[in-house]
Amino acid sequence: MPNNSALGQENRWSRRQLLQLGLCGAGVTSTAALWRLLNLKTQLKVRVPSMDMETTEGVTNPMKMLRDFDYGTLKQENGRTIREFHLTAGTSTIQLNSAVSYNIWDLNGRIPGPTLRAKQGDRVRVLFLNKAGHAHSLHFHGIHPAEMDGIRPIKHGSATIYEFDAEPYGVHLYHCHIEPVTRHIVKGLYGMFIIDPPTPRPPADEVVLVMAGYDINDDNHNEYYAFNGLPDHYMHHPIPIYQDQLIRLYVLNIIEFDPAVTFHLHANFFDVYRSGMTLIPSEKTDVITMGVAERHILEFAFRYPGKYMFHPHQDAIAEKGCMGQFAVIAQ
Ligand SMILES: [Cu+2]
């Protein structure tokens, strides 16, 4: 395949072409903004490698979770778009490694829970059914009335409805808010909640990474860590992406008991959209610090094929399972 991406053409655009795109002069000067505008202008076709989905099954399936977005069911009511989601809490056992299993609470039979996705301005309706044998709730990050804040316990066998407007756009999250919250999160009740901006972001291969910890002996320290549910999974099954393809990572840190972790990408730099709440990146770096519940959009493309690690640069955490690789495929 010829290299026809905006990234590949970055150095070949003439001043005249840039003027045509309005990129010269006092306005846009950053490389990131240039890529973004070129993307918008050229409407590049996004290529996503096929993946082996058979690597794991059931509650933990990190390969499936990478690009699995739940857009809910669309309904029209009184002239408004309603986006209805169904979330059921249950119980499961996961295998952290060949010797260690751990009892968790799951949402819709998975850990992390589904990546919910709406567009700014939609009415979001979440039907929550608790079958997890203990009182739970779903607390969404975002702007909503107090009665929709998800701090009221929903008993086992009961259901409730959370309904609010999707705002503001960004990368948000939801999680159980029943005390001890640390315990309810460590045992699996969390997920990402993406609200897309009114004007869609440029085309990209979009990938979700949720960083979490497991405190299996209840000592308020994590013994294991994971991206998307399973320790070291992407280390042994690297995530396939294409060379020169814009990658849009949605990254969430939901690791309890550690005050903050970083996310570091090897052999590259990424544009940061803090909390996903901007359309213009605020910085470019190769390591970013996230406190608990912080999340960002990180955008990058790889110039060279090969395998590249990503992990927190708290290497003790990386060495306990929060470790993965991208496998960059030549095109
Ligand atoms: Cu809970």
| pLDDT (tens digit per residue) in 262-285 | 999 999 999 999 999 999 999 999
pLDDT at 155 over 60: yes
Question: Has residue 299 got a pLDDT over 60?
Answer: yes
Q: What is the domain-level CATH number for residue 119?
A: 2.60.40.420
pLDDT of residue 8: 34
Per the structure, the complete domain to which residue 121 belongs is given by 69-196
* Residue 75, domain member (yes or no): yes
**Does some domain include residue 15?**
no
- 33: confidence class by pLDDT, cuts 50, 70, 90: low
Confidence (pLDDT) at 32: 54
Which residues lie below 8 Å from residue 260, measured CB to CB, with a gap of 6+?
253, 289, 290, 291, 292, 294
Question: Would you state the pLDDT for residue 54?
Answer: 58
Answer yes or no: is pLDDT of 66 > 80: yes
Dihedral angle sign, alpha carbons of residues 278, 281, 286, 289 = negative
Q: Is the pLDDT of residue 52 over 80?
A: no
Q: Tell me, what's the pLDDT at 53?
A: 64
Asked whether residue 3 is domain-assigned, the answer is: no
Residue 203: cis peptide before it, omega within 30 degrees of 0: no
Q: Where does the pLDDT of residue 55 fall: very low under 50, low under 70, confident under 90, or very high at 90 and above?
A: low
Torsion angles phi and psi, residue 291, rounded to 5:
-75, 175
Quote the pTM value.
0.87
Ligand 1 centroid distance, CA of 187 (Å): 8
Torsion of CA 32, 38, 40, 42, to 10 degrees: -150
Sign of CA dihedral 80, 86, 89, 94: negative
pLDDT at 39 over 70: no
How far is ligand 1, taken at its centre, from the CA of residue 101, in Å?
20
Q: Is residue 282 part of a domain?
A: no
pLDDT at position 3 is 34
For ligand 1, the distance from its centroid to the CA atom of residue 226, given in whole angstroms, is 20
Question: d(Cα 291, Cα 192) in Å, to the nearest integer?
Answer: 16
Confidence of residue 50 (pLDDT cuts 50, 70, 90): confident
* pLDDT digit string, tens, across residues 162-203: 999 999 999 999 999 999 999 999 999 999 999 999 999 999
Which chain residues have CB less than 5 Å from ligand 1, an ion?
A: 136, 176, 178, 184, 189
State yes or no: pLDDT of 36 exceeds 90: no
Q: What is the pLDDT of residues 17-30, one digit of tens each?
A: 444 444 444 444 45
AA identity, residue 325:
Q
Residue 154 lies in a domain: yes
Three-class secondary structure of residue 147 per DSSP: helix
* HEC string for 41-87: HHCCCCCCCCCCCCCCCCCCCHHHHCCCEECCEEEEECCEEEEEEEE
Average confidence score pLDDT of the chain: 89
Cβ contact 67:74 at 8 Å: no
Please count the structural domains in the chain.
Answer: 1
User: Ligand 1 centroid to 110 CA: how many Å?
Assistant: 15
- Ligand 1 center to residue 155 CA distance, Å? 10
